[in-house]
Structure 1
Amino acid sequence: MIVGIIMIMFMVGLLLGFVGAGGSGFIISILTTVFGFSIHTSLGTALAAMIFTSVSGSISHYKEGNMLLNAGIPVGLFGAAGAWFSSTWSAMIPAGELKWMTAGILFLSALLIWLRMMVNSGIKENQRQDILPAGFHFWLYAAIVGISSGILSGLFGIGSTPFIQLGMMFLLNFSVRRAAGTTMLVITPIALSAGINDLRLGYLDLALLLEVVAGTMSGAYIGAKFTKRLPPTALKTAMILVPVLGALLLVI
């Protein structure tokens, strides 16, 4: 089973690196459905694994020029604060209810990404200049995107990738490519904060964590290489499919 987990997680990492996702919700779905781990253990392990996946993908995205550090760092710090408090609440939710709630959030995130793509369809990707809001508005929007995404991540065990990317594109005026690349940077402190709290609560399987990380980290680094090389249409489609597949695995 160890080899199977590593191989599947490598393929997951390829996809997550491409779309700029930490992929915790997707990993939770596979660990619970395919390998039979409990939802709480899967949640804690997936969030911790997301730290390493996001760091690996962030380095690759930074080298590829897909990242805006001056916006990603503040959003990530706000997100870490939200994730710390909400991860404690997650332990109070019964396993059956948490499974359905996580699936529902994944479906919702896919719908929101699709709606945002429709609104943004009239703007050509190469015309987006990544011009950030200035002053008070920047910090307000960074706090809204970070805290709300952190709460969702800690509570439901998801990386909140679509919510972060939507917030960056809608409030902070990111292009799709820069939103994908910067999201992995934002997810890193969110996952670290929630992961530490889950370790404290006893919902982190260290052996399983090593297996998941061995696959996803290498896959995410390679997958990030394709973000700039494939057309924006492929990236937008993958952004929607990742949460949908994760939700379907949980409810089937």
Structure 2
Amino acid sequence: MLFASMLALGALIGFVGAGGAGVTITLLTVGFHVPIHTALAVALASMVFTMLSGTISHFRQHEVIIKTGAVLGLGGIVGAIFGANFSNMMPSDLLSSITGFVLFSSAVTLYIKLYQAKWLDRHLHVRHELLTGRRLWTRGIAIGVFMGFISGAFGIGAAAYIQLALMVVFGVPLLQTIGTCMMVILPISAAGGLSYLFNGRLDFPIFIQTLAGLMIGAWFGAKGTHLAPLPLLKVAIVGMPAVGGIIMILFH
């Protein structure tokens, strides 16, 4: 049942084109009563493989700003280690509630990006050139640590936040934000996953079923993305983390 459910979820993730780490956590905890710490570990460890394949694909298409991604990723490693160890000490109920709220907040961020782009442009100054030099390192490390902490502590990829930061703070062009974001999340998920492993939280049978189901399902789901109307895709992108967050908050 777990593998079959992850196949279906993977197909939906592949269709929508979203990472789905938060929804994976919701399905594991609420649907299969997997302990929240184990679910976070499985989600982060699974993201390593999905982000690796995605980063390689975008790199081949020249859609990755390597230096910016490397600086943010370096800070993210530190943040993810602290976040995973902080999460390991939290009570399960409190951790589940906060994870649900973080997941829902990512849905709100995605809604603003997709449906309120003009409002966003009016209220945020988007850089039109790449941030370089000392400011790249100071801001990149600081923001990377923060994003890594969120991801490590709550198992959420924080992709929506990272993509916004890449555009607004670091001047990464829109076309290259997705690939660069995947590059940032890759070391974050690896560091967080290893930290959970060292804390004895990673359940390998659950991890293997989850990873296999998500990857196989996503491969099939991605083939239908170009067939879907854009309004449907936008609703699905926002709706997945929103529903996942609400379920986590109400039913954990």
- Coarse TM-score class (shorter-chain normalised): 0.7 to 0.9
Aligned counterpart in structure 2 of residue 203 of structure 1, from 195, 201, 204: 201
- SS of match in other structure, 2:166: helix
Deviation at 1:48, TM superposition (A): 0.8
Instruction: State percent identity of aligned pairs.
Output: 33
Cα RMSD for the two superposed structures: 3.1
Partner residue, 2:30: 33
Deviation at 1:223, TM superposition (A): 6.6
**Is the 8 Å Cα contact of residues 13 and 53 (structure 1) preserved in structure 2?**
no
Query: Relative to structure 1, is the Cα distance of residues 219 and 169 closer, same or farther in structure 2, using a 3 angstrom cutoff?
Result: farther
Deviation at 1:168, TM superposition (A): 0.8
1:63 and 2:69 correspond: no
Query: Relative to structure 1, is the Cα distance of residues 231 and 237 closer, same or farther in structure 2, using a 3 angstrom cutoff?
Result: same
The whole-number CA distance in structure 2 between the counterparts of 1:231 and 1:71 is 33
Partner residue, 2:161: 163
- SS of match in other structure, 1:34: helix
**Is the 8 Å Cα contact of residues 61 and 225 (structure 1) preserved in structure 2?**
no
Partner residue, 1:194: 192
Q: How many residues align?
A: 245
The whole-number CA distance in structure 2 between the counterparts of 1:227 and 1:86 is 34
The whole-number CA distance in structure 2 between the counterparts of 1:40 and 1:103 is 13
Deviation at 1:210, TM superposition (A): 1.0
The whole-number CA distance in structure 1 between the counterparts of 2:239 and 2:39 is 21
The whole-number CA distance in structure 2 between the counterparts of 1:172 and 1:73 is 13
The whole-number CA distance in structure 2 between the counterparts of 1:60 and 1:248 is 33
Gaps of 5+ in 1: none
**What is the identity, as a one-letter code, of the residue corresponding to 1:37?**
V
- SS of match in other structure, 1:66: coil
Q: TM-score, normalised by structure 2?
A: 0.83
Matches for 1:1-252 after TM superposition, within 5 Å? 1-15=1-15, 18-19=17-18, 21=19, 23-116=20-113, 118=116, 120=118, 131-220=129-218, 239-252=237-250
Gaps of 5+ in 2: none
Q: TM-score, normalised by structure 1?
A: 0.83
Which deviations, in whole Å up to 9, do the C-alpha atoms of 1:222-251 show, x marking residues without a partner? 777899999987776555334213212313
Which deviations, in whole Å up to 9, do the C-alpha atoms of 1:74-127 show, x marking residues without a partner? 21121011101121110111111111101111122222343455355687xxxx
> Which sits farther off after the overlay, 217-226 or 58-67?
217-226
**Is the 8 Å Cα contact of residues 45 and 209 (structure 1) preserved in structure 2?**
yes
Deviation at 1:186, TM superposition (A): 1.0
